[in-house]
Amino acid sequence: MKRIQKKYDGVFKTKVVFEAIRGENSLGEIATQYGVHPNQIAHWRKKALNELPLILSRKGERNQEEKAGLIDELYRQIGQLKVELDWLKKKSQGCG
């Protein structure tokens, strides 16, 4: 007889992991409460704690990428305006 592997959604895992990280109850108590094996909870907790610094640092990287894109766009606009200004100066010298 085949064993059917249970699949848990992210919201459920997050709820269980937060409770495990809080440490108010033992893994056994949390496992009984949610119907999940204690080893699975320990695995989820370990994975969450290992990946949390990466998740938080990615936000900073994204902000830096957005700032770099904005700076590039602003430099492009400055260059365009400088070319237009030089053209206008050149044309205005011929008129006056």
Q: For 32-69, how does the pLDDT look when each residue is reduced to its tens digit (9 = 90+)?
A: 999 999 999 999 999 999 988 877 777 667 778 888 99
Long-range contacts of 16-22 (CB under 8 A, 24+ apart): 16/41, 16/44, 17/41, 17/44, 17/45, 17/48, 20/44, 20/45, 21/45, 21/48, 21/49
Residue 20 DSSP SS3: helix
CA nearest to 12, candidates 39, 53, 40:
40
Predicted local confidence at residue 83, as pLDDT: 96
Phi, psi of 78 (to 5 degrees): -60, -45
Average pLDDT, integer, range 62-82: 91
Predicted local confidence at residue 66, as pLDDT: 85
Predicted local confidence at residue 96, as pLDDT: 62
Q: Quote the DSSP letter at residue 37.
A: -
Q: What pTM does this model have?
A: 0.57
Whether residue 51 contacts residue 20, with contact meaning beta carbons closer than 8 Å, is answered with: no
**Which residues lie below 8 Å from residue 33, measured CB to CB, with a gap of 6+?**
25
